[in-house]
Amino acid sequence: MTSKTLFEPYTLGSLTLSNRIVMAPLTRNRAGPGFVPGDLAAEYYGQRASAGLLISEATQISQQGQGYQDTPGIYSQAQIEGWRKVTSAVHAKGGRIFLQLWHVGRVSHIDLQENGAAPVAPSAIRAQTKTFVNNGFVDVSGPRALELAELPRIVDDFRQAAANAIAAGFDGVEIHGANGYLLDQFAKDGANVRTDAYGGSVENRARLMLEVTAAVVNEIGAERTGIRISPVSPANGISSSDPQAQFDYIVDKLDALDIAYIHVVEGATGGPRDIAPFDFGSLRRRFKNTYIANNGYDLELAALRLAEDRSDLFAFGRPFIANPDLVERLKTRAPLAALDPATLYGGGSAGYTDYPALSAASNP
């Protein structure tokens, strides 16, 4: 057991975080025309800047990478400028923020793709899941398998998106390798039945995720690079027959790249932590830098896991939606406000920037 606390400063690469609490990525579907984050986004993230580290909502690296209505991008100059307002608001309050880089792969719909094209995937296997498009949840469209010659472009899109994120003022980026999106699709044999260099073996299925990570590291530096993984989560219809072998290998290779952190969804995303047998401690032991634990953490569980030295940082997701001052509420053991499910996705300020901090709530 250790004497560390959740509310003490923490060194992440060259950054000093004010505490060990991370705001997890939270899709809110409120980007403006051109998939540009607007002034409301700057207000929203600025309100939550007391988190030790904020990780932005998932942000597509290209139009092809988009899977949901009104999610922001990081591939145009207007998007860079929009995000710069966000990073300025966070930094003005002493916060730190990484941008999550996203390609959804097969979790998309033809109405979101250029010229109504089919979404792309490692293999032409339709995901058994839904997406949010045209103001409602509908089945995803059937994908086509990516050609081998297309993969270098996707790697380069991640690289350029990382460069754009730094230009927008972010402190670093988090590669989205989790939750059944493109990189996770390649890694897991439930979605990847390729017979070329990107399919079959553990090493081949990990190849695209590792190539993307290496390209981002080469562009912006290892200390500015993190990645999110979800070894056993069935999110978006994904499955794997060998998650322990697959992710032990992936984390060994990520450790060799010396990236800043791995952000690990322990169990089913937003669901049971014990959905499948998996030794998350193996990943912790294999990775020398920061381990961020995610999924179902509250104050008590996070404090226990920190005392046991099973993680360095702890990600909280939905509690941050209705509690912009979540860190202070946890520190003082104040009650947490409940979120309004009706305003989670899309809309304006209601259910986005109008949740009060505890001080405002108690002194209307």
Q: Percentage of the chain with pLDDT > 70? A: 98
Considering the candidates 44, 68, 75, 181, report the single residue annotated as catalytic.
181
Domains detected in the chain: 10-20+35-40+50-291 (3.20.20.70)
* pLDDT value for 265: 98
- Predicted TM-score (pTM) of the model is 0.97
181 noted as active-site residue: yes
Q: Does residue 2 surpass a pLDDT of 80?
A: no
Which whole number is the average pLDDT over 343-359? 95
Q: Is pLDDT at 364 greater than 70 in this prediction? A: no
Q: 363 pLDDT exceeds 60?
A: no
pLDDT in tens, 182-218: 999 999 999 999 999 999 999 999 999 999 999 999 9
In angstroms and rounded to an integer, the radius of gyration of the C-alpha atoms of the chain is 19
Please write the tens of the pLDDT for every residue from 319-336.
999 999 999 999 999 999
326: nearest Cα among 53, 33, 12, 37: 53
User: Do 74 and 99 form a contact (C-beta atoms < 8 A)?
Assistant: yes
Q: Are 149 and 199 in contact (CB under 8 A)?
A: no
CB 280 within 8 A of CB 248: no
Return d(Cα 209, Cα 247) in angstroms, integer.
11
Return the exposure string of 77-106: e unless at least 16 CB atoms fall within 10 Å of the residue's CB, then b: eebbebbbbbbebbbeeebbbbbbbbbbbb
Strand partners, 121: 145
User: pLDDT for 51-99, tens place per residue?
Assistant: 999 999 999 999 999 999 999 999 999 999 999 999 999 999 999 999 9
Position 283: which residue type?
L
Helix locations, the chain, DSSP H: 39-47, 77-92, 151-167, 182-187, 202-220, 243-257, 280-286, 299-307, 319-322, 326-332, 358-362
Q: Is the dihedral of CA 62, 67, 70, 72 positive or negative?
A: negative
Residue 166, both tokens:
């730094």
Q: By the 8 A CB rule, do 73 and 35 touch?
A: yes
Place of tokens 């920037």: 353
Query: Please, which residues have CB within 8 angstroms of residue 161's CB and are 6 or more apart in sequence?
Result: 59, 61, 62, 74, 75, 101, 173
**Unique residue bearing structure tokens 């058994």:** 128
- CB 333 within 8 Å of CB 281: no
For residue 339, count other CB atoms closer than 10 A to its CB: 16
Element holding 12 (H helix, E strand)? strand 10-12
Q: Which residues contact 182 (CB under 8 A, 6 or more apart)?
A: 65, 103, 104, 105, 106, 120, 121, 122, 154, 208
Per-chain mean pLDDT for the chain: 96
Cα separation, 51 vs 18, whole angstroms: 7
Q: Backbone phi, then psi, for 106, in 5-degree steps?
A: -80, -10
**Are the C-beta atoms of residues 28 and 344 closer than 8 Å to each other?**
yes
